[in-house]
Chain A
Amino acid sequence: NAGVTQTPKFQVLKTGQSMTLQCAQDMNHNSMYWYRQDPGMGLRLIYYSASEGTTDKGEVPNGYNVSRLNKREFSLRLESAAPSQTSVYFCASSAGTGANTDTQYFGPGTRLTVL
């Protein structure tokens, strides 16, 4: 099992460009999450999906859109990138259908720089 995979690992964008970060899990998990990690701020939840076909906003959703394409895949889209979106993005998944005692399994992260 690969666990949680993310592509790309690194990306540099110019302000105003768009891109989609891809995430896939092979553990048959119901819930998937997108976080961003900024220095000194810990992980902050952008969006999550408690089950296939549902998505909900997290703490910092502005400037992002998500798609739960199927049970395996959860993508994060930046429609018009801004320098404030420079960050490391982590995708995670968990077995349950909502935040509870389930352990989250994290992908390796995508380091995004917006110039």
Chain B
Amino acid sequence: ILNVEQSPQSLHVQEGDSTNFTCSFPSSNFYALHWYRWETAKSPEALFVMTLNGDEKKKGRISATLNTKEGYSYLYIKGSQPEDSATYLCVSDSWGKLQFGAGTQVVVTP
């Protein structure tokens, strides 16, 4: 994988349901993976930074896992709420080279 790819591009979730989505990144020269949350009309805000294979991070109802050998990370939202509606960006850091994914847009409907 040469670029950072996020899938799906967008998803709609019913309030209370859980969901997850993927970030694929180049596994060679990997240093760190960042997840950002980006609400409409605002700036991206940091959620997690992960560096080690098998890393798991959690912040409230949102958690993320990392597999550096195969080059993917999952982000999970448990019991989605309308305030979780945002675009979630992943950023791969390969020893100084940052690559941004295009984001997964999450829309949580009541």
Contacts and interface: CB of A to CB of B under 8 A. Distances in A.
Interface residues of B, number: 20
B93 A42 contact: no
Contacts of B31: 100-101
Interface in A38-76: 40-45
B71 interface: no
A103 B46 contact: yes
Report whether over half of chain A's contact residues are helix, strand or loop; otherwise say mixed.
loop
Given A42-B100, A42-B101, A101 B46 contact: no
Contact of A40 (B45, B93, B102): B102
A109 B43 contact: yes
B97 A42 contact: no
Nearest to B101: A42
Interface string B1-40: 0001000000000000000000000000001101000000
Contacts of B101: 42
Contact of B93 (A43, A100, A106, A109): A100
Nearest to B44: A106
A83 interface: no
Contact of A43 (B45, B49, B96, B100): B100
Contacts of A45: 98, 100
Nearest to B46: A103
Given A42-B100, A43-B44, A103-B34, 17 more contacts: A4-B43, A35-B100, A42-B4, A42-B89, A42-B103, A43-B100, A90-B43, A99-B97, A99-B98, A100-B32, A101-B49, A101-B51, A102-B49, A106-B45, A108-B42, A108-B43, A109-B43
